Amino acid sequence: MRFRTISAAGLVGALLLPAAADAATKTVFRGPPPKGALPGVKGPAVDANFYPSRITLAAGDKLRVKTLGFGDTIFVPKGESVPPFAVANPDAPVSGAKDAAGADMWFNGQPAFAPNPAAIMPSGGNVIDGSKVVGSGIALDGPPKPWVVRFPKAGVYRLRSAIHPGISLRVNVKPKGSGGGETVASSSQVGGGGTTGASQEDRRVARQLTANARLAKRLLAAKGPKGDKVLAGNDAKGIATIAFFPARKTVDVGDTVTFSMSKSSIETHNVAFGPKAYLDEHAKRFFGPVFEPFVTFRSEAPGTSIVFDGANHGNGYVNTGVLDANKVTKDIPSSEKITFTKAGTYAYYCAIHGNDMKGEIVVK
C-alpha cells in the first residue's frame, strides 16, 4: 500500500511543484490535480479541497493557487468570519414577479439576493500578513488565472473559501533562513514513479487523492435516509455530490417530505417542481447582478406550509427556495417540508445545478 501511494506521488509530482530553482514559489491546487477530477470516480462528485491541504513556506515565499473549476480562496484574520457568497440587497427589491396564473408572488418588494462583492471580487492585494482580508475572488469569464500571494511574516495562516464553506489550507510560514521550507523535488526526480526525491507535498497529495476518491465513491453509493426524507447532496470533508438521495421516493397521499441539506454540505441547492421549460427559464437567469427570485425564494410566503397538488400557481410550480448548511448565512434554512395531497409522479430538480441534479416523488 505504501509503495502504491508513493508511486501516485511520482505520477503527479511534476504537475504539482516547481523545480528547485523556483522554490520561493510553491503551488497548491483547488481541486484534485491534474484536471480537477478524482481518479476512478464516476458520478456527480465535486472535490473542492486544496491539494495539498497544508504546506510549509519560508517568510517571504509566495504561494500560487491554481483553481481547477469554480471556486475562490480567501484569508480572513483570526476572529473574523468568511463573507457569505450571497447577501440581501435592499436597493434592489423584487418587482413584477407573477406566477403562471397571473397572481403576484409574495416576494415582490423583498430585497433580492445578490452576489456579495466581498466574496466574488479580488480583495486585499497580494500580501497575506494576518492583518486584513485577502481574497482571490472568482473568475466570471473563462478559466481562473493562478492566484499568487506572498507571506512576509512567520506564522500559521488558514486559507478558506467563501463559495465552498468548510474547506481549508493550512500555511505554515517559518522564519526566513530557518530551513523550514519543505524540500521541493524536481520533475526529473519524481516523474519516473519511484520514491527517490519525492517531496512531502508529493506524498501528501497522493494520500489525499487516494482517500478522497474512496470517500467520494462511498458518498455516491449512499441510498439516502429512510422515511419521508430526501437529502439534497451527500457531502463530507470538502467533497460534494450533486444528486438527491434517494433520487426516487414513494410516499402516500397526505405525507410530508422533508428535503434537507447534508450537515457538511459545501454547496447550495433548491428543490423546484413544475413544468421543465418553466423551471429552465428561471435556472437560466439564476446568476446575475441579482439572483433569480423564483429560485432563491420559497414559492409560498414565510410562515405558511408548502402543500403540493400538482396545480400550484397555475402550472404546478413549487419551490423550497435556496437551502444551505453554511453557518454564516443564518437566514437561509437548511431544510424545507412539502406536503403532497394528490396521487401522481412529480419530477423536481435543483435549478442551481441543472438537470443533472434531479429526482422524483411518487405519491400513491
Are domains 2-73+136-216 and 224-363 of this chain identical in fold?
yes
User: Which CATH superfamily is 2-73+136-216 part of?
Assistant: Cupredoxins -  blue copper proteins (2.60.40.420)
Angle between helices 200-221 and 2-16 (to 10 degrees): 110
Q: Is the pLDDT of residue 245 over 90?
A: yes
Residues 143-182: tens digit of each pLDDT: 899 999 999 999 999 999 999 988 999 999 999 877 555 5
Report the first-to-last Cα separation within the chain, whole angstroms.
50
Q: Which residues contact 50 (CB under 8 A, 6 or more apart)?
A: 28, 29, 30, 65, 159, 167, 168, 169
Q: What is the mean pLDDT of residues 244-250?
A: 97
Q: What is the mean pLDDT of residues 7-12?
A: 44
Residues 309-328: tens digit of each pLDDT: 999 999 999 999 999 998 88
Q: Is the pLDDT of residue 275 over 80?
A: yes
Give CA–CA dist 292/220, Å, rounded: 29
Top CATH class of 224-363 equals: mainly beta
Residues 11-34: tens digit of each pLDDT: 444 444 443 344 489 999 999 999
Task: Compute the half-sphere exposure of residue 276: CA atoms within 13 Å on the CB side of its CA.
Answer: 8
Q: What is the 3-state secondary structure (H, E, C) of the chain?
A: CHHHHHHHHHHHHHHHCCCHHHCCEEEEEECCCCCCCCCCCCCCEEECCEECCEEEEECCCEEEEEECCCCCCEECCCCCCCCCCEEEEEEEECCCCECCCCCECCCCCCEEEEECHHHHCCECCCECCCCCCEECCCCCCCCCCCEEEECCCCEEEEEECCCCCCCCEEEEEECCCCCCCCCCCCHHHHCCCCCCCCCHHHHHHHHHHHHHHHHHHHHHHCCCCCCCEEEECCCECCEEECCEECCEEEECCCCEEEEEECCCCCCEECCEECCHHHHHHHHHCCCCCCCCHHHHCCCCCCCCCEEECCCHHHCCCEECCCEECCCCCCCCCCEEEEEECCCEEEEEEECCCEEEEEEEEEEC
Quote the pLDDT of residue 141. Answer: 78
Domain positions in the chain are 2-73+136-216, 224-363
Q: What is the mean pLDDT of residues 216-221?
A: 96
Rounded mean pLDDT of the chain?
A: 88
pLDDT band at residue 341 under the 50/70/90 scheme? very high
Prediction pTM value: 0.85
